[in-house]
Structure 1
Amino acid sequence: MRWQTMMILPRPNCQIASRPNCFSLHNQLVAVDADSFSMAVIKAFSDRHGLQIEKSAADQAKLILRRADSYQPEEYDLDVTSDGIIIQAAGEAGIIWALASLTQIMDEQGVIACCHLHDQPRYAHRGLSLDCARHFFPVQTIKDIIGQMSLVKMNRLHWHLTDDQGWRIESKRFPKLHGQHGTEYYKQTEIAEIVAFAQARGIEIIPEIEMPGHITALLAAYPEYSCSGQAVELGQRGGIYPVILCAGREKTYELIETLLDEICPLFPAKFFHIGGDEAPKREWQACPVCQQKIRDEGLKNEVGLQGYFSNRVIDLLARRGKKTICWNDSLEAVNLTRQTLAQFWSVQYTDSLEKFIGQNGQFIYSDMFAFYLDYPHSMTSLRRLYQSDLSIADIDYAEHPALLGIEACVWSERLSTRQQLEEKLFPRIYAAAEKMWSRQLDYDDFTGRLRSFLKRYHPASISCVPEDRWNPQGEDRRHETLAFMAAMNEGLTPEVRAEIAEYFVPNEQFSRKFATSFFDPEDRAFLQH
């Protein structure tokens, strides 16, 4: 028996025992003993390879699935002999990940070298946040991304479905939400189709309904749920918009409860994201109803009112069997329940996150300086993403028990086509997937496996940045970075510009991280001119 590292991405957290001989799945009807597993767990694998699958008794089966109750939820054991394949796992996810590994050790004729590996992920949460609110992307695009995520063992798609620019979920209770000005949206039947497609590939879909801010799309349809009740227009660009939900009126919570009754059944995942970031408080300051709510509830200020608002929504979700996720801005409210899961994106709010962690809170790592994939490769190169640490305020949280996992994010303010989206995602999402799964990280080894993966498993129909653009250098890097930053402000109205300037005043830590993350020392003299 020989030990070797095969060309698997992400890198397994084990050595692979290689044996003589091989087994072939080429052009044959594959008899499967699925034990107590649903045959649906092998659907993605059989579809990928064009295999016909039939149930069989163990003595006739060539692919045997066995339930191993002592394993961790995503742990698996894969054993390939000349007689067939045996996979052991505690649940469906482990089977799916074993089959993803099996795909990558098969040659183009379906021949598999006899081997054994036993693997499990480093982190439980391995996600991608996909913004389909600022710009809409068709069902097939979402499916294609899910297919590639599954192949590299990512397990969560955080689907950003509402924002200032659009409400992308069909609502039968509030039809004006998705019916504004001919905006595109996902029918509930299409959502069910995507959820089922993802589930068969080991991926949970976590919906995000932004509140109380980033809510212009709702208020454009139903302005009576803001403090003023005045009409607003759908946002046309990114940014921070001043009008948010009124947290003082009970009818706001009645609206949210009705929406959750409609949306929660569409998404069987245990998590539900409510945003909570970038919620300006000027309207609450001027709203007599909100001010009365602050007094009635004994709150300190408008930040405390957001904590109260979030707690009400978190309770509504808990009663529907959901655990809430919110962006780490929300933790600025000291009265926010510790029962939520925080998603770290900005060092602007590290003090409140550190307090949250100290109170046994759990979080997901999505640092904008490392894992925001809408930034160009000049700002977040393949190498830089792969080699980034998981630190917050100079503390490395890679092995901290509070860290549930990592999530890369792609925001679509400046991405309007499928090609633009895919070129931002690929191949960087493969580097993120390896950071999420693998304990041993080596960039040169990764890029060797990545080249092989791209040739065999990245479809030609999905755009991918070529290797000469993975890590821009020199003037090319500087030019692309500055062009992107200039474009961030293009088309913003004076009102939105003013709101951003007033709401977001970067602290010293944010400013330092911004300068050191996106610019090299030689850029400083250039920038001063």
Structure 2
Amino acid sequence: MRKTGIKYLLGIVAGAFALLCGSTSFAGNTILPYPNQVEWKEGTCRIEKRLSVYCDEVFKYETKKEMDALKKEAGVAYRFSNREQADFRVLFSKDIAKEGYTLDITGSGISIQASAPAGVFYAVQTLKQLLQKEQAAYRFPCVEIADSPAFPWRGFLLDEARNFQGKKEVKKLLDEMAMLKMNVFHWHLTDDQGWRIEIKKYPRLTEVGGRRDSTQLNWYESTVYDKKPVSGYYTQKDIREIVAYAAERHITIVPEIEFPGHASAAIAAYPWLGCSKKEIPVSCAYGVFSSVFDIADSRTQQFVRDVLDEVAALFPSDIIHIGGDEVKYDEWQNSENIKRLMEKEKVDSPAGLQIWFANRLSSYLKKKGKKMMGWNDITGDKLHAYHPENATQSRLDADNTIVQFWLGTPEILEKALRRNLKIVNSYCDYTYLNYNYDKIVPGLEYAHKPIPMEKAYNFYPVPEGWEDRRDLILGVTCAMWGEWINRPDIMYKMVYPQVAAYAEVGWTERRNKEFGRFTDALEFFKRRWTSAGYIR
């Protein structure tokens, strides 16, 4: 794990050096996301290729990792010394927030203070953007920074159920998230079009559910398919490797396993999971389908617990996402098993049954030390035309549940807040990276209305008038949904450079944001992403 972290830092430090090589001037607007307290000073700090380094014991690993990277990639020799002699100090301070840091650059040296390794890591991300290489030394502008994130949740969602991207691409995304100080990787691993995570007790989930015969082209109403088989999944060994890779970058991976809808791939593998008990294929089309789990069947209930057991053991995150979105109730309404369950549990409607199911999952996960997260469909509010008005009087338990708001009116979000539900705001009209199809994917000019960069940048996760309950808003997640994204280069065009706007939404306080400064700072990352081949 440590070697992995060092390799990562070698790459990104080298990238920063390469991009800034030969620079002799500095503009104070190059940091992204922008720190929340900055005071620029006169002068620069010039450091020769011999550094004396001191760090408090708690930061020994993080500091050595950084220094080893500098030595190997940039020839910066270093030695650890005592505090008085060091010109690069990494110090512990209990008064700084967990992810916060201070960075003080003077003419005589650099000092970082933090209360946790994440703070040191984020300080270094800032430092890299300030570095300028000279012929025989490195130069930094003098500055005092006291920084911590606006929100604790700064997320990026990758949907690999629709189109599998693979371990290499995931690691690339994690690298860029780390540079942008984003800290939650929301991994959408199951859906109608594919099941991408190995579950040892149910091998057919990947053997059957991880494959499909073809893929729909153009758009949801299209009858054109490419007739090319699609497959791919992550073994549990792969999962552990990626989880460790993310942890080195102070990123938590939150897995999403869809229950009770978007279930075609699972039911194709085990038909008894569905209400009809009939064989169905893994879906080759995109959209919302009627196949749902038969949650009245004791075998299905055990299946769900078994899957959650294996997933919980793989991911250290204290949160597991259970999806819960876009559930069509047709099969439930036609199922005698479901009707009997609803009568037994005194549930008033299919929407109420979904809340009952979500509450059971939340209780089960709580016993395992995990919180449940789901899309805001799990609140029972009407979001879709295929759902009735005022569907249920049932209430979602707020105690162990996080709701990810993606669709609906501000009133629906406010209702959830009044129930003291914790929220991650991913409102689709502001945060969905895939809404930019019309400019990127040929043939989809009539798709979603694109989200301009400035609109994305100006998104604020806290609804108007709710600033006094900001504690309920954990933060933001931008979403890279995978329909139509069958090649990495298409994904890159969707993600970059737009993802940088969401990084600043999550990190920089609203009062400190300025779009003009952001676009100037974005040039550093545009050069980086052009060099990596992500943008042109």
**TM-score category, normalised to shorter length:** 0.7 to 0.9
Q: Residues 289, 400 of structure 1: CA spacing in aligned structure 2 closer, same or farther, 3 A cutoff?
A: same
Aligned equivalent of 2:10: none
Secondary structure (helix, strand or coil) at the match of 1:36 reads helix
Q: Residues 331, 45 of structure 1: CA spacing in aligned structure 2 closer, same or farther, 3 A cutoff?
A: farther
Matches within 5 A, 1:133-148: 133-148=161-176
1:15 matched to 2:38? The reply is: yes
1:400 matched to 2:470? The reply is: yes
Aligned equivalent of 2:6: none
Contact persistence 2:320–2:370 (CA under 8 A): yes
Contact persistence 1:389–1:396 (CA under 8 A): no
Shift of 1:103: 0.7
Aligned equivalent of 1:153: 181
* In 2, Cα distance between equivalents of 1:417 and 1:449: 29
Q: Which amino acid aligns with 2:534?
A: S
Of residues 95, 117, 128, the one that matches 2:120 is: 95
1:358 matched to 2:418? The reply is: yes
* In 2, Cα distance between equivalents of 1:38 and 1:375: 44
Q: Which amino acid aligns with 2:155?
A: G
Matches within 5 A, 1:239-278: 239-278=287-326
Of residues 486, 495, 503, the one that matches 1:433 is: 503
1:442 matched to 2:514? The reply is: yes
Unaligned ranges ≥5, structure 1:
467-529
Contact persistence 2:462–2:470 (CA under 8 A): no
Q: TM-score, normalised by structure 2?
A: 0.80
Of residues 316, 329, 343, the one that matches 1:295 is: 343
Contact persistence 1:273–1:325 (CA under 8 A): yes
Aligned equivalent of 2:14: none
Shift of 1:399: 7.4
Matches within 5 A, 1:87-486: 87-109=112-134, 110-180=138-208, 181=211, 183-332=231-380, 334-339=394-399, 340-347=401-408, 351-376=411-436, 379-390=450-461, 400-439=470-509, 440-455=512-527, 457-458=528-529, 460-464=531-535
Aligned equivalent of 1:485: none
Contact persistence 1:390–1:397 (CA under 8 A): no
Q: Residues 188, 336 of structure 1: CA spacing in aligned structure 2 closer, same or farther, 3 A cutoff?
A: same
Shift of 1:237: 2.4
Q: Residues 278, 114 of structure 1: CA spacing in aligned structure 2 closer, same or farther, 3 A cutoff?
A: same
* In 2, Cα distance between equivalents of 1:117 and 1:284: 56
Aligned-pair identity in percent equals: 31
* In 2, Cα distance between equivalents of 1:206 and 1:45: 30
Q: Residues 44, 222 of structure 1: CA spacing in aligned structure 2 closer, same or farther, 3 A cutoff?
A: farther
Q: Which amino acid aligns with 1:99?
A: V
Contact persistence 2:29–2:520 (CA under 8 A): no
Q: Deviations over 1:388-413 (max 9, x none)?
A: 45476x76769733211111111011
Aligned equivalent of 2:58: 36
Contact persistence 2:181–2:503 (CA under 8 A): yes
* In 1, Cα distance between equivalents of 2:525 and 2:495: 15
Q: Which amino acid aligns with 1:177?
A: L
Secondary structure (helix, strand or coil) at the match of 1:88 reads strand
Shift of 1:128: 0.7
* In 2, Cα distance between equivalents of 1:56 and 1:230: 70
Q: Which amino acid aligns with 1:315?
A: S
Q: Residues 422, 45 of structure 1: CA spacing in aligned structure 2 closer, same or farther, 3 A cutoff?
A: farther
Contact persistence 2:435–2:450 (CA under 8 A): yes
* In 2, Cα distance between equivalents of 1:68 and 1:336: 40
Contact persistence 2:44–2:139 (CA under 8 A): no
* In 2, Cα distance between equivalents of 1:188 and 1:30: 42
How many residues align structurally? 459
Contact persistence 2:493–2:534 (CA under 8 A): yes
Q: TM-score, normalised by structure 1?
A: 0.81
* In 1, Cα distance between equivalents of 2:52 and 2:279: 61
* In 2, Cα distance between equivalents of 1:29 and 1:169: 45
Shift of 1:338: 1.0
Secondary structure (helix, strand or coil) at the match of 1:401 reads helix
Q: Which amino acid aligns with 1:413?
A: E
Q: Residues 351, 388 of structure 1: CA spacing in aligned structure 2 closer, same or farther, 3 A cutoff?
A: closer
Q: Deviations over 1:346-402 (max 9, x none)?
A: 016x5543222112222011111111001116611112212345476x767697332
Q: Residues 326, 300 of structure 1: CA spacing in aligned structure 2 closer, same or farther, 3 A cutoff?
A: same
Q: Deviations over 1:53-84 (max 9, x none)?
A: 77665456554332222222211111234554
Contact persistence 2:51–2:88 (CA under 8 A): no
Shift of 1:300: 0.8
Unaligned ranges ≥5, structure 2:
1-25, 212-229, 381-391, 440-448
Q: Which amino acid aligns with 1:106?
A: L
Contact persistence 2:321–2:373 (CA under 8 A): yes
Shift of 1:19: 4.7
Greater CA deviation, 10-19 or 242-251? 10-19
Q: Which amino acid aligns with 2:426?
A: S
